[in-house]
Structure 1
Amino acid sequence: MSQASFILSAFDLDRWCSVLETRFTVDDIAALQTIIDPDIDADPEFARCYIIEPGEMDAINQRFDVGFDQARLKLPEVEIWLERQRKGRSIRNVPYLVHTNFELPLMLEGRKKLARFTDVLPRTEEAFDRWVEKASFIRRSSSNQFQKR
């Protein structure tokens, strides 16, 4: 049986960014599809991104031994997303998880000093602007650059 790789992401709805990701492999896609949506015939290749409910997360952890514990994040507003890792040329095909979409939490922790965006989504911009208003970040809007103070 062939394996497929999937990524679970915890998305903080307050900060409007991913705060945790894990990659896992699945040897039985049909079993995962049954957990997520028994009527998944509309997406046989599992190409869409899915919001995972707590009961589904429990079933994924149990069936595939993922160990993804949302409660340990202690975040009031978080969504868990599941997506299939695509083969081919992608930033996701490196053997490690990259910092893309983790700019805000890394900057808040002081582990990243600068974030520069070419295409900023309105919600991402709002999330960063909250920290500019609190004087934690400096924004240089001509270049969509945010810098830790």
Structure 2
Amino acid sequence: MTGTADTAFAFVLNALDPDLLSPCLATRFVTSDLVTLRQNLSIDAADDPLIDNVYTLAPPDAAALCAAMQIDFDSGPAIVTLHKDNGSRGGPPYLVHTGWELPLLLQGRKKFAVMHFTTRADHVALKRRFDHFVAMGQLHAEEHVSGEGTRHQTIHAVYTPPGDAWRIEADKLIHRCAGLSGGWNEHYERLLGMLMGYEDWQNDWWLEELAKHDKGWFGISLTAAVTRAGLEWIAHAGNRALPPIEGDIFIVASTHMLQDETMQFALRDNPHIDAFVQFNIDGRHLIPHADMRVGGTYALPASAIPELNRHLRRPVRIVAQRSSSAFE
């Protein structure tokens, strides 16, 4: 795909606070003139045809770009970054902390931050700003280095406001518990969000989004057809277990490969199917029962269901269901 006169793209300009190296002023603009935009960014069409990368502009370059694109954005002497807005509509209805860690920590709105600094110039500069506020006693930090002395050297640092250093040990404990109890799940994700300073309603929204869009955060996502009796069994179990089935084989499919239309056709054509349910499980618990190198559909022994139930990462969700009138 290449940009044309009929194709409009949205971009965001951020002016960076020179002391905190985080955005302090921003604007969004829409354009189909990628030729002029590339010229002002001094990039070739072959290198970044749709301008998907992030670009840093010195003050004169930012002013020239705004003049050329007729953007009302006075960033003054600040360094400016430009990135494509890949669909903020439908995004979180709150400020995501990423990119705003330092000012939010200093304001006390963020309680815990995990940062990874490589040898890139912008990472080195940002690390210096964090170091400055640590030295001033305004932040507490712990860090370790991986790949020391190599081009892959990375400083892994955690920061809290003064008096909140206990959150670092709490984070270690949460990850240790996750490792000992079968892996990361929605409860650990919520605890981590609370540690970082997100509000309850924000954590609620985030977990619901993870469930709806199935990003694989909680292990492998599988979907299975169930009968009416099976659906009732799941409800009685509080959506915390898969139902026993008749027969010796439990058919499951990779969620991302099972289209909504396929499920609707099955509900219409097979009177024994009353719903499709989705569940998450660590792949290691499937290896004894299925060849995980092949995606798609797996025929699991029905006798494996109790073991699967012991290792479910999150509640069983109904993703498609027969209604009394849908197929009449």
What TM-score, normalized to structure 2?
0.34
Check the 8 A contact 1:19/1:102 in 2, yes or no: no
Q: Residue 51 of structure 1: CA displacement?
A: 0.9
Q: Distance in 1 between matches of 2:94 and 2:26?
A: 8
Report matched runs for 1:67-106 at 5 Å: 67-71=72-76, 78-87=78-87, 92-93=88-89, 94=91, 98=95, 100=97, 101-102=99-100, 104-105=102-103
Pick aligned residue for 1:26 from 10, 27, 31? 31
The equivalent residue for 1:50 is 55
Computed over aligned residues only, the root mean square deviation of the Cα atoms, in angstroms, reads 3.5
Structure richer in strand, relative to its length: 1
Name whichever of 53-62 and 21-30 sits farther off: 53-62
Check the 8 A contact 2:10/2:28 in 1, yes or no: yes
Q: Distance in 2 between matches of 1:133 and 1:117?
A: 13
Structure possessing the higher relative contact order (Cα contacts under 8 Å, 6 or more residues apart): 1
Q: Residue 13 of structure 1: CA displacement?
A: 4.1
Structure 2: which amino acid aligns with 1:34? Q
The equivalent residue for 2:114 is 119
What TM-score, normalized to structure 1?
0.66
Q: Distance in 2 between matches of 1:2 and 1:102?
A: 31
Q: Where in structure 1 are there 5+ consecutive unaligned residues? A: none
The equivalent residue for 1:6 is 11
Is residue 37 of structure 1 aligned with residue 39 of structure 2? Answer: no
Q: Distance in 1 between matches of 2:9 and 2:51?
A: 10
Structure 2 CA distance for partners of 1:131 and 1:65, relative to 1, 3 Å = farther
Q: Where in structure 2 are there 5+ consecutive unaligned residues? A: 1-5, 118-126, 140-160, 169-194, 198-328
Max radius of gyration: which structure?
2
Q: Distance in 2 between matches of 1:146 and 1:125?
A: 17
Check the 8 A contact 1:10/1:20 in 2, yes or no: yes
Structure 2: which amino acid aligns with 1:17? S
**SS of residue matched to 1:62:** helix
Deviation digits for residues 74-121 of structure 1 (CA, Å, limit 9, x no counterpart)? 6xxx4211111124xxxx44498836334544676xxx5421334234
* Stretches (4+) displaced over 6 A: none
Q: Distance in 1 between matches of 2:60 and 2:23?
A: 21
Q: Residue 15 of structure 1: CA displacement?
A: 1.6
Q: Distance in 1 between matches of 2:104 and 2:113?
A: 19
**SS of residue matched to 1:68:** coil
Q: Residue 44 of structure 1: CA displacement?
A: 1.1
**SS of residue matched to 2:86:** coil
Q: Distance in 2 between matches of 1:4 and 1:99?
A: 23
Q: Distance in 1 between matches of 2:93 and 2:26?
A: 11
Q: Distance in 2 between matches of 1:60 and 1:96?
A: 30
Q: Distance in 2 between matches of 1:115 and 1:121?
A: 17
Q: Distance in 1 between matches of 2:93 and 2:59?
A: 26
Structure 2 CA distance for partners of 1:95 and 1:114, relative to 1, 3 Å = closer
- What is the aligned length? 134
**SS of residue matched to 2:62:** helix
Q: Distance in 2 between matches of 1:81 and 1:30?
A: 18
Structure 1: which amino acid aligns with 2:56? I
Q: Residue 125 of structure 1: CA displacement?
A: 3.9
The equivalent residue for 1:142 is 166
